[in-house]
Amino acid sequence: MTSGATSTTVLSENDISRALTRIAHEILERNKGGTDLVLLGIPTRGAPLARRLGERILDAEGRPEAPLAELVGTLDITMHRDDLRRNPTRALEPTRIPPVGLDEKVVVLVDDVLYSGRTIRAALDAISDLGRPRAVQLAVLVDRGHRELPIRADYIGKNLPTSRSERVSVRLTELDGSDSVVLSS
Amino acid sequence: MTSYLIRAASVLGGERTDLYLADGVIAALGPDAAAAAPRGDGGSAVEVVEIDASTLIALPGLVDLHTHLREPGREDAETVASGTRAAAVGGFTCVHAMANTDPVADTAGVVEQVWRLGQDAGWAQVRPVGAVTVGLRGEQLAELGAMADSAAAVRVFSDDGMCVHDPVLMRRALEYVKAFDGVVAQHAQEPRLTAGALMHEGVVSAALGLTGWPAVAEEAIIARDVLLAEHVGSRVHICHLSTAGSVDIIRWAKARGIDVTAEVTPHHLVLTDEAVRGYDPQFKVNPPLRTAADVAAVRAGLADGTIDIVATDHAPHPDEDKDCEFAAAAMGMTGLETALSVVVEAMVNNPDHDFGWADVARTMSAAPAAIGRVSEQGRPLEVGEPANLVLVDPEATWTVDPPALRTASSNTPFAQRELPARVVATFWRGAATVLDGAPREALRERAGAGA
Amino acid sequence: MRHLLSAGDLSRAEAVEILDTTSTMAATQSREIKKLPALRGLTVVNLFFEDSTRTRISFEAAAKRLSADVINFSAKGSSVSKGESLKDTALTLAAMGADAVVIRHQASGAPHRLATSGWIRTPVVNAGDGMHQHPTQALLDAFTMRRHLVGGGEGGDGVGEDLTGAKVVIVGDVLHSRVARSNVDLLHTLGAHVTLVAPPTLLPVGVDTWPCAVSYDLDASIADVRPDAIMMLRVQRERMSSAGGGFFPSPMEYSRRYGLDGTRLAALPEHCVVMHPGPMNRGLEISAKAADSPRSTIVEQVANGVAVRMAVLYLLLAGGTPTEGSR
């Protein structure tokens, strides 16, 4: 996946697990429980991260048997991107909203890396087509800086100062066979 | 008057010999030729041009029995002058100008006009074809006798483009032309079976959704006409035969003793309906390109003599009639400048057939001249014969570049295709119409001035 | 995929990608806000040389729901006599800044000419050409079949699946039908088994080389094939007249031999869906009973048509070539 001259593992499997557990607790703490929460993962890698966060939240609340699908969904933002014409088409991923809908909910968007902020802007547009949440928050595993829009994350697994020429690769067991975050240049 | 001493040409691909052309005839052959040519001492009025033909083949000037010169009426596509110049570059010294002009060549006046335009142009002998029926409408015989008796001395009659489909009218035409040794050249296409037809009916037409032109529409008319010709004791000529079934019918008819001749076009010798898959109107032609099996059959028929001649069916069209949807496009393709090369590729260079340069001379010169009753063309290259001949470089290859062709239209199906053999020089009535592969404009001007 | 000219040009992967994208598009169409911003600022031209209100409004709805601007250009009657106008029309559209052209034309191959002649450089979508192809119809038919016959996956649309093993009988005027040609191509690519049923006069010469079975007998086909889907093609009444080609003796005889009447409807397997590309001739190729039965997908096909066309426009216009194996 990476062909750079140097690559450094910045988060191990354990680091990722700890970061997610911490974020799950921060979400519960800030929102005073999980009752009005909806987690929306942004495909590709935001989707499994959202599921993991959802499992941790249900565990922390002591109801691990509750259906995950009522808490966690996915939000494909491809059609809301403003750079569709510049980047090759990506096959559309499903958008799946929990049956309760988004109206008056607290939506936590979940993505792997926060970079320019354009993906999140597109996600905000996509959400507005789907309903009217009471609040929208953002959880990311890695914030690598270089924002191009006035967007910030509410929950961050790791702040990772990078240069634009560097590349951050998030690997997750569900898609890539193992968990790691690698910085390569 | 310029005369020509051609050195060491291979006559019909055989032995090398010198030929001396003077006063419109082959004046001397072999060792006598150089001796017959006057010395270039300045004392003679005759200018002798010597041509090294030691890598070239000499053939009698080619004769096309099927050319659309488009004049009068469609001078935007071709004129007699531009078409015959293209013919000369292709090695032809005689072309038969088809009758589907506007006005139709169905009167002595029109055929004489075309004949005279040919004379004036001076590139090749133009033999007008007369229409069989008035206006090609297939209803009433045109004045065939008047055309035969005119200065154009028409001997070939055809409604080409349209089929003489009325059997009674066809019978009358076959009978009537016997009076002046004429021949009816039939465009064999049953009209009801081909209504709206755009391409060969078969696997490709089924996939492309283009209305099909079934082989039987050609074969049924040929079968009828050979039987009619037998019944009334006439000769009949079949234009642009294109199917395996047609070859079988002609073979059967000849075995039976029927006086039938048949032609195949160069494009039907090499192209198939697969070429239409891209909907490129350059491959739209009538009769349509057929299947690979048909191509094999017409090649075999040409090789064994069932098919007598190759005729170009040179059909120029302006760009706007081809740069459009397939259904809206005109039918036809140019052929005068590519015919010889295509025949060399399909037949001479093809190890499957025993087809040599003598067969080229037979099928592209002697036989078409005989069918058209053109006494001065298609003659053997012998002393005293008219100096109509062509020098061909058999080893040359060239790439067809439509704008570079001399025809006024660019609708060739062979664009960017590499073809073998190139015409180096063409002599008509002793004068060079083409030298070094290029037409001699100056000659044309002299001829025009002298006319 | 640069253009969509023929269903036969699609690989299995491309076809499944279009169907999967259609599934996503269809999901957005049940939302309150149906409009998506994906093609904002782009202009789609509907170039219709042949009347077809249904297909035109379907493409128009698809483009508008993706936020594209739509220009409808009806050029009926100004074309075939002299093909020049297709070229000139194309040059005009290019000059006006069209980003994609949807073309319907009575001449087979006209979309192909438009796409390959160098007149314009935009993507071309074939919305039906002569007797040749109608690829978006085949795609919407395949999408409808997949939803009913395969199911599963996100939204129950059979996402990621093809139609392997599905048995489809297509009945009617195959000779003149671009729908039949497109469906045979696409269904074969997707792994379905197709049987064409028609009177011999309404089958093209060369049909034996198509990747499908051919029968002249509808009752035997229903009994032997046990189809999962049966598609009735529109038959034009004028085809029976001598001037129209005299393809069959009378509408009554056609209907008796090849129409989907109540008896044949009852003979179909329980799960078999009844399809028709529309517009229907009730009482000729399909009885009202069959058209209005619960197993009929005819209205659903229309809805799926919008989603399929959204998917096609999206995939052609949003960026470059689709990524391979992106799931």
Is residue C61 a part of any domain in this protein?
A: yes
Q: Do B206 and C207 touch (CB under 8 A)?
A: yes
Residue B248 is which amino acid? D
**Residue B444 pLDDT greater than 70, yes or no:** no
- Tell me the chain C residues in contact with residue A96 when contact means C-beta distances shorter than 8 Å: 154
- Tell me the chain B residues in contact with residue C105 when contact means C-beta distances shorter than 8 Å: 325
Residue B138 is which amino acid? G
Q: Are residues C316 and C281 in the same domain?
A: no
**Residue C324 pLDDT greater than 60, yes or no:** no
Residue B411 contacts residue B333 (beta carbons within 8 Å)? yes
The rounded distance, in Å, linking the Cα atoms of B415 and B319 is 14
- Residue bearing the bigger pLDDT, C78 or B12: B12
The rounded distance, in Å, linking the Cα atoms of C134 and C128 is 4
Tally the domains of chain C: 2
Extract the tokens encoding B160: 């080409």
Q: Do B209 and C113 touch (CB under 8 A)?
A: no
Compute how many other C-beta atoms are within 10 angstroms of the C-beta atom of residue B430.
20
Q: What is the CATH number of the domain that holds C203?
A: 3.40.50.1370
Average pLDDT of the segment spanning B69-95: 97
Query: Which residues are CB-contacts of B99 (< 8 A; sequence separation ≥ 6)?
Result: B105, B106, B111, B128, B129, B130, B131, B136, B157, B158, B159, B160
Sign of the C-alpha dihedral, residues A129, A135, A141, A146? positive
**Predicted pLDDT of residue B205:** 97
Query: Which residues are CB-contacts of B375 (< 8 A; sequence separation ≥ 6)?
Result: B369
Extract the tokens encoding B200: 């060969």
Helix B441-450 with B108-121: angle, nearest 10 deg: 130
Of the candidates C113, C131, C205, the beta carbon closest to that of B209 is on: C131
Give first-to-last CA distance, chain C, whole Å.
Answer: 18
Compute how many other C-beta atoms are within 10 angstroms of the C-beta atom of residue C170.
26
% of chain B beyond a pLDDT of 70: 96
% of chain C beyond a pLDDT of 70: 94
Distance of CA C307 to the CA centre of its chain: 13
Domain of residue C189 covers 135-301
- Residue bearing the bigger pLDDT, B373 or C81: B373
Classify residue B18 as left (phi > 0), alpha (psi -120 to 50) or beta. Answer: beta
Helix (H) or strand (E) holding B62: strand B62-67
Query: Comparing C-alpha atoms, which of C127, C216, C187, C245 is closest to residue B212?
Result: C245
Strand runs labelled E in C59-178: 69-74, 100-105, 124-129, 167-171
The rounded distance, in Å, linking the Cα atoms of C169 and B260 is 50
Is residue C1 a part of any domain in this protein?
A: no
Residue with tokens 């968990």: A179
**Predicted pLDDT of residue B450:** 40
Q: Is A65 on the interface with C (CB under 8 A)?
A: no
Helix (H, G, I), strand (E, B) or coil at B275: helix
Query: Comparing C-alpha atoms, which of C310, C266, C292 is closest to residue C22?
Result: C310
Query: Comparing C-alpha atoms, which of C105, C9, C275 is closest to residue B207?
Result: C9
Is residue C113 a part of any domain in this protein?
A: yes
Under the banding of pLDDT at 50, 70 and 90, the label for residue C33 is confident
**Residue A1 pLDDT greater than 90, yes or no:** no
Alpha helices in B37-143 (DSSP H): 80-89, 108-121
Interface test mutation site (partner B, options C113, C131, C133, max chain B beta carbons within 10 A): C113
| Contacting C residues, span 33-52, partner chain A, CB-CB under 8 Å | 33, 35-38
Q: Is B209 on the interface with C (CB under 8 A)?
A: yes
Extract the tokens encoding B325: 């949807």
pTM of the predicted structure, to 2 decimals: 0.89
Query: Which residues are CB-contacts of C182 (< 8 A; sequence separation ≥ 6)?
Result: C6, C7, C8, C133, C134, C135, C137, C138
**Predicted pLDDT of residue C327:** 22
Q: Is B210 on the interface with C (CB under 8 A)?
A: yes
Interface test mutation site (partner B, options C78, C112, C203, max chain B beta carbons within 10 A): C112
Distance of CA B40 to the CA centre of its chain: 38
- Tell me the chain C residues in contact with residue B324 when contact means C-beta distances shorter than 8 Å: 82-84, 86-87, 113
Closest chain C residue to B215 measured between Cα atoms? C205
Residues in chain A: 185
**Predicted pLDDT of residue C32:** 77
- For residue range C250-274, list pLDDT tens digits in order: 999 999 999 999 999 999 999 999 9
Query: Comparing C-alpha atoms, which of B252, B282, B250 is closest to residue B267?
Result: B282
Strand runs labelled E in B368-430: 389-399, 418-428
Sheet of B92-97, strands arranged across: B62-67, B92-97, B125-128
> Is C35 a known ligand-binding residue?
no
Interface test mutation site (partner C, options B322, B325, B326, B331, max chain C beta carbons within 10 A): B325
Residue B21 is which amino acid? L
Q: Do C206 and B214 touch (CB under 8 A)?
A: no
Alpha helices in B288-333 (DSSP H): 292-303
**Predicted pLDDT of residue C156:** 74
Q: Are residues C86 and C154 in the same domain?
A: no
Compute how many other C-beta atoms are within 10 angstroms of the C-beta atom of residue B63.
29
Of the candidates B201, B328, B329, the beta carbon closest to that of C205 is on: B201
Q: Are residues C168 and C297 in the same domain?
A: yes
Q: Do C327 and A91 touch (CB under 8 A)?
A: yes
Q: Which residues pair with A41 in a beta bridge?
A: A74, A110
Residue B357 contacts residue B12 (beta carbons within 8 Å)? yes
Among the listed ranges A42-56, B197-211, B393-407, C147-161, which one has the minimum average pLDDT value? C147-161
Residue with tokens 């080619």: B62
Helix (H, G, I), strand (E, B) or coil at C210: coil
Residue B250 contacts residue B225 (beta carbons within 8 Å)? no
**Residue C79 pLDDT greater than 50, yes or no:** no
Residue B38 contacts residue B86 (beta carbons within 8 Å)? no
Residue B171 contacts residue B197 (beta carbons within 8 Å)? no
% of chain B beyond a pLDDT of 90: 93
Query: Comparing C-alpha atoms, which of C325, C261, C264, C265 is closest to residue C295?
Result: C265
The domains of chain B are located at 2-57+384-396+413-443, 60-371
Helix (H) or strand (E) holding A150: none
* Closest CA of chain C from B438, distance in Å: 32
**Residue A2 pLDDT greater than 70, yes or no:** no
Helix (H, G, I), strand (E, B) or coil at C29: coil
Is residue C308 a part of any domain in this protein?
A: yes
Q: Are residues C200 and C222 in the same domain?
A: yes
Give first-to-last CA distance, chain B, whole Å.
Answer: 16
Under the banding of pLDDT at 50, 70 and 90, the label for residue B448 is very low
Interstrand relation of C273-275 and A180-184 (parallel, antiparallel or unpaired) = unpaired
Helix (H, G, I), strand (E, B) or coil at B429: coil
Extract the tokens encoding B83: 């078409």
Query: Comparing C-alpha atoms, which of B104, B106, B100, B102 is closest to residue B73?
Result: B102
**Residue C212 pLDDT greater than 70, yes or no:** yes
Task: Note whether C touches A: 3 CB pairs or more under 8 A.
Answer: yes
* Closest CA of chain B from C103, distance in Å: 13
Q: Do C83 and B211 touch (CB under 8 A)?
A: no
Residue C23 contacts residue C50 (beta carbons within 8 Å)? no
Task: Note whether B touches C: 3 CB pairs or more under 8 A.
Answer: yes
Average pLDDT of the segment spanning B404-417: 97
Query: Comparing C-alpha atoms, which of C214, C229, C217 is closest to residue C269?
Result: C229
Q: Are residues C313 and C286 in the same domain?
A: no
Is residue C32 a part of any domain in this protein?
A: yes
Extract the tokens encoding B416: 């960017």
Extract the tokens encoding C278: 């529309």
The rounded distance, in Å, linking the Cα atoms of B405 and B90 is 10
Residue B225 is among the residues annotated as catalytic for this protein: no
Closest chain C residue to A127 measured between Cα atoms? C33
The rounded distance, in Å, linking the Cα atoms of B34 and A116 is 89
Extract the tokens encoding B253: 């008819």
Compute how many other C-beta atoms are within 10 angstroms of the C-beta atom of residue B316.
30
Is residue C2 a part of any domain in this protein?
A: no
Compute how many other C-beta atoms are within 10 angstroms of the C-beta atom of residue B14.
12
Compute how many other C-beta atoms are within 10 angstroms of the C-beta atom of residue A148.
10
**Residue B120 pLDDT greater than 90, yes or no:** yes
Topology of domain B2-57+384-396+413-443, CATH: Urease, subunit C; domain 1 (2.30.40)
In this complex, the chains that touch A, judged by 3 or more CB pairs closer than 8 A, are: C
Of the candidates C27, C155, C319, the beta carbon closest to that of A89 is on: C319
The CATH architecture to which B60-371 belongs is Alpha-Beta Barrel (3.20)
Residue A20 contacts residue A49 (beta carbons within 8 Å)? yes
Average pLDDT of the segment spanning B96-100: 98
* Closest CA of chain C from B282, distance in Å: 12
The rounded distance, in Å, linking the Cα atoms of A123 and A169 is 21
**Residue C321 pLDDT greater than 50, yes or no:** no
Residues in chain C: 327
Q: Within a 13 Å sphere around the CA of A127, how many CA atoms are in the beta-carbon half?
A: 30
> Is C116 a known ligand-binding residue?
no
**Predicted pLDDT of residue C237:** 80
Residue C38 is which amino acid? A
Compute how many other C-beta atoms are within 10 angstroms of the C-beta atom of residue C215.
18
Q: Within a 13 Å sphere around the CA of A57, how many CA atoms are in the beta-carbon half?
A: 30
Strand runs labelled E in B158-297: 183-186, 199-200, 212-213, 236-238, 260-264
Closest chain C residue to B328 measured between Cα atoms? C83
- Active-site annotation holder among B313, B321, B359, B393: B313
Q: Is B180 on the interface with C (CB under 8 A)?
A: no
**Residue A158 pLDDT greater than 50, yes or no:** yes
What are the two backbone dihedrals, phi and then psi, of residue B299, each rounded to the nearest 5 degrees? -65, -45
Q: Are residues C62 and C197 in the same domain?
A: no
> Is B187 a known ligand-binding residue?
yes
Hey, what's the torsion of the CAs at C151, C155, C158, C161, to 10 degrees?
-160
**Residue A82 pLDDT greater than 80, yes or no:** no
Q: Which residues pair with C23 in a beta bridge?
A: none
Q: What is the 3-state secondary structure (H, E, C) of B133-145?
A: EHHHCCCCECCHH
Q: Are residues C292 and C309 in the same domain?
A: no
Task: Note whether B touches A: 3 CB pairs or more under 8 A.
Answer: no
Under the banding of pLDDT at 50, 70 and 90, the label for residue C325 is very low
**Residue C295 pLDDT greater than 60, yes or no:** yes
- Residue bearing the bigger pLDDT, C206 or C240: C206
Chain-wide mean pLDDT for chain B? 95
Helix (H, G, I), strand (E, B) or coil at B13: coil
Residue with tokens 């009801």: B192
